Amino acid sequence: MQYHGNVSLAYVLDTSVMVAAFRSSQGASRQLLLGALAGRFELLLSVPLLLEYEAVLTRTDQLNAFGIGRRDVQRVLDDVASIARQVRLAYRWRPQLPDANDDMVLETAVNGNADAVVTFNRTDFIALSERFDCRVILPGIALRELRGETR
């Protein structure tokens, strides 16, 4: 994969993207996670969002699907936390979205001035794109942006 090193892009990864990154080594989600860890873009993260990642990724059914242990997931999340820009949630925007768990993604994006939220659940984030200056994009589109193919 060839990146153009567009570190000026700031993304928030929805939990669905993190799950997909662990489930498939070949998908766009995994490439985004690796790109974040390599500093190809600025990953925005809040404490509630990190806790959500951990809660979902360490469920027994997820660990079985991933074929790895809880410690392995925790190591990756430690790495993610070490490279991400910590977003302080200065303002709470709840409730905005149909799923209360998505509100923490929205709050991280808005408080962190994200360029985009990367998610598979685009319709759930309509309020984010309509009310705030933040795009909602699929992982494949984020990858193309990082490669300099679109913006």
Contacts of 41 (CB under 8 A, 6+ apart): 6, 7, 9, 10, 11, 35, 142, 146
Would 133 be classed as within a structural domain? Answer: yes
Question: What are the tens digits of pLDDT across the range 20-53?
Answer: 999 999 999 999 999 999 999 999 999 999 999 9
Strands (DSSP E) contained in 54-120 are 85-86, 116-118
CATH classification of the domain holding 121: 3.40.50.1010
What's the domain count of the chain?
A: 1
| Whole-number pLDDT of residue 4 | 43
Q: With beta carbons less than 8 A apart as the criterion, state whether 39 and 7 touch.
A: yes
Residue 5 maps to a domain: no
Q: Is residue 3 domain-resident?
A: no
Domain ranges, residue 86: 10-146
pLDDT of residue 2: 39
Q: What is the pTM of this model?
A: 0.87
- Asked if residue 116 belongs to a domain, the reply is yes
Cα 142–Cα 140–Cα 19 angle in degrees, nearest 5:
95
Examine residue 122 and state whether it is found in any structural domain, yes or no. Answer: yes
The CA-atom distances, in angstroms, between 107 and each of 28, 52, 67, 88 are: 24, 13, 32, 9
Q: Could you report the per-residue pLDDT of 48-107, keeping only the tens digit for each?
A: 999 999 999 999 999 999 999 999 999 999 999 999 999 988 656 556 555 666 778 888
Residue 2 in domain: no
Amino acid at position 112, single letter: G
In a domain, 4, yes or no: no
Sequence letter at residue 18? M
